[in-house]
Amino acid sequence: MNQETNKIDFKAIANKIAQYRGVIIHDSINIEALIGAIIAVYFVRDDKNNEFNRKVIDDEYFSFGLKIRILEKLNQEVYPQFFEDIRRINNIRNIFAHKVPTLDEGFIYQDSKEEKTEIKYMSDLHKEFLEKIKKADEQLHKIFFSLVEEKRKNQNETTNNSKK
């Protein structure tokens, strides 16, 4: 192989990494925002929703993990593996955001529980991410719209009761 070929191969790998990272980080941000919206709809009056999002949900210390814990405590109906899937989505996002891949398009992965090292390939992680994000996104939208509808009904009942 000549030097020119090595540059092209490296550039192709770098482009693939950037593509995977872009999709994974973008979709993770959307999932996190949707969880934040669910928390806000559940706990906050409409006239304080924007302020709550700015001051609480969007605060740098209000972590994705904390949002997941709060969502769990809302006791919404979800599919059996939902919270495991959400945590795995975040784990894959962190791998792509913080790890440097090997030249064979993998990430060296240290499993601290089992004390073993293995390589997780970008394409496998990307495929797993897409499968989990699709199901989780659908579930989160169901929760969000259900809460919005419930809030709307409660507001209508309150309005009707105050007119009596």
Q: State pLDDT tens for residues 14-39.
A: 888 889 999 999 999 999 999 999 99
Is the Cβ–Cβ distance between 120 and 111 less than 8 Å?
no
What does the pLDDT average to over 36-57?
91
Question: Residue 4 above 80 pLDDT?
Answer: no
107 and 122 in contact (C-beta within 8 Å)? yes
For 148, the domain range is 3-163
With 90 as the cut, is the pLDDT of residue 157 above it?
Answer: no
Q: How many domains does the chain have?
A: 1
pLDDT of residue 163: 65
Cα–Cα distance for residue pair 87/65, rounded to 1 Å? 8
141: closest CA among 84, 76, 91?
A: 76
Give the three-state DSSP class for 62.
coil
Q: Where are the alpha helices (DSSP H) in the chain?
A: 3-43, 49-52, 64-73, 82-98, 122-163
What percent of the chain is predicted at pLDDT more than 90? Answer: 57
- Give the burial class of 16: count Cβ atoms within 10 A of its Cβ; 0-12 exposed, 13-18 middle, 19 or more buried: middle
Task: Supply 70's token pair.
Answer: 């709060």
Report pLDDT digits (tens) over 64-101.
999 999 999 999 999 999 999 999 999 999 988 888 77
Least confident of 21-25, 69-73, 106-110, 128-132: 106-110
Tell whether the model's pLDDT for residue 46 goes beyond 80: yes
Question: What pTM was estimated for this model as a whole?
Answer: 0.82
Ramachandran bin of 115, using left for φ above 0, alpha for ψ from -120 to 50, beta for the remaining angles: left
